[in-house]
Amino acid sequence: MKKPIIATASLAGCFGCHMSFLDIDERILKLVELVDIGKSPLTDIKAFTQRYNIGLIEGGCCNSENVRVLQDFRENCDVLISLGECAIMGGLPALRNGIPIEDCLNEAYRDGPTVQLNKEAIMPNDDELPMILDRVYPAHEVVKIDYFLPGCAPRADLIWEALLALLSGDKMDLPYELIKYD
Amino acid sequence: MEKIKFQIDNKECEALYGQMLVDAARDNGIYIPTLCNMQGTNPCGSCRVCTVKINGRYATACTTPVACGMEIESETDEIQEIRNALIELLFNEGNHFCPTCEMSGNCDLQALGYRFDIMAPRFSYQWPKRAVNTDCPYLIIDYNRCIRCKRCIRSIKDEQGKSYFAFLNRGDKIEVSIDTMMAKNMSKELAELAAKNCPVGSILLKGTAYKTPIGERKYDKNRIGSCVENAQLTAKMEELK
């Protein structure tokens, strides 16, 4: 039987969830026996070339590129999992949600105390750059998400147990210590 | 004094006359989740998390005195689902950034999220605009995390019984505010009590953050309510001995 194939993506996140994923340590050897890791920052494969079974999403959507990638994942993956607080509720990037986008950009590129070289007060605006969204959206407010694994970052054991349960079809029986929001 | 007999989930329980349902349940080793309820102050039933069904009708267990022959449903799927939704709504309604909150691990709201296995709230986030107040020299009051449980309003008072905190506005615009002049002169002891009484990370004592390492915080290993349930187990073990 063909091995299930996994994709991962980091949207508006810090890659902490990916680091936590790698914290499964030597169990990664067992993981590659069970699954193939396809499109992912870990493998540097950029595009979907076949139907994927599982997609792990780290981070919410803060710009148009994040939305495009997330929709691409939904189209190509059977099961999508939100990994970590940023994907679930926006996380730290969502701290800007109460601040108007103009103020955010001015602070970052014009008025901020560390902005010194931008004398002409140029605002980044190029077709190559993704457009920033009005606020940060959790992944499940953009596409349908099947499962959620909370944590900042989600504990490696939680990711491991969840993947095992998903691959084997068994019910997850997690110890209390594994589900944390921080 | 004669005890009142009643039932919770078909379990025979006993209570003292005039005892509120949450307290009576606790004495019988049954945990009913609460957020706004605090021993030593009058109950106000603002968070509704302790909702139970008494003889077929919904009521909050913290504001209902036990009466003889009450049949209470508490751990049924229906009631648990209502409580679950109420807790999720509290997460959606404020700005609860658990990873950046210094109360994380000691927070009752978060602990209830863990107890009810909430992986993600099902409702949409409101992202309200809320302020942070530092009028009191000892306190940081972050309204982003406030759940309007009224614990601070009910418990933090001066010698004449005047509250330092009060509600402003109504409906979904309601917010807790602190009297600016009184806040400036608040004693350190009272400030410590205010921080201790806040069930979430809304009232924080300055300069005390992150004292407890991760793994040793209040709810890192122990589920909220487990002390009530375990007390009953321990008592049973003692009896068997």
Residue from A57, A103, A174, A180 to probe the interface with B (highest B Cβ count within 10 Å): A180
Collect all residues of chain B within an 8 Å Cβ-Cβ radius of residue A176. 114, 221, 223
Cβ atoms of B214 and B105 closer than 8 Å: yes
Give all domains of chain A, ordered by start, each with its CATH number: 5-96+135-178 (3.40.50.700)
Average pLDDT on B118-124 reads 92
Q: What is the pLDDT of residue B241?
A: 73
Mind telling me how many Å the CA of B210 is from chain A's nearest CA?
13
Q: Tell me the sheet residues that pair with A96.
A: none
Handedness of CA A42, A44, A50, A55 (dihedral sign): positive
Q: What is the pLDDT of residue B229?
A: 84
Q: What is the pLDDT of residue A7?
A: 97
Q: What is the token pair recorded at B144?
A: 């982003």
B198 Cβ neighbours under 8 A, 6+ residues apart: B103, B151, B152, B204
Domain boundaries of chain B, sorted by first residue = 85-205
Interface contact B120-A150, CB threshold 8 A: yes
Distance between CA atoms of residues B232 and A56, nearest Å? 42
Distance between CA atoms of residues A107 and B173, nearest Å? 29
Record the pTM: 0.93
Closest CA to A145 of A94, A90, A97, A77: A77
Distance between CA atoms of residues A122 and B9, nearest Å? 67
Interface contact A95-B110, CB threshold 8 A: no
Cβ atoms of B116 and B224 closer than 8 Å: no
> What does the longest C-alpha to C-alpha distance in chain B come to?
58
Of B96, B120, B129, the CB nearest to A140: B120
Residue B240 has pLDDT above 90, yes or no: no
For helices B108-115 and B77-93, what crossing angle results, to 10°?
140
Interface contact A182-B129, CB threshold 8 A: no
Residue B233 has pLDDT above 80, yes or no: no
Per-residue pLDDT of B9-59, as tens digits, reads: 999 999 999 999 999 999 999 999 999 999 889 999 999 999 999 999 999
Residues of chain A with pLDDT under 50: none
Distance between CA atoms of residues B231 and B235, nearest Å? 6
Q: Which residue has the tokens 């917010």?
A: B175
Interface contact B98-A135, CB threshold 8 A: no
Residue B235 has pLDDT above 80, yes or no: no
Q: What is the pLDDT of residue B2?
A: 82
Residue from A57, A80, A85, A89 to probe the interface with B (highest B Cβ count within 10 Å): A89
The verdict on B199 touching A (C-beta cutoff 8 Å) is no
Residue from B91, B98, B103, B126 to probe the interface with A (highest A Cβ count within 10 Å): B98
Q: What is the pLDDT of residue A18?
A: 96
Q: What is the token pair recorded at B76?
A: 């049924």
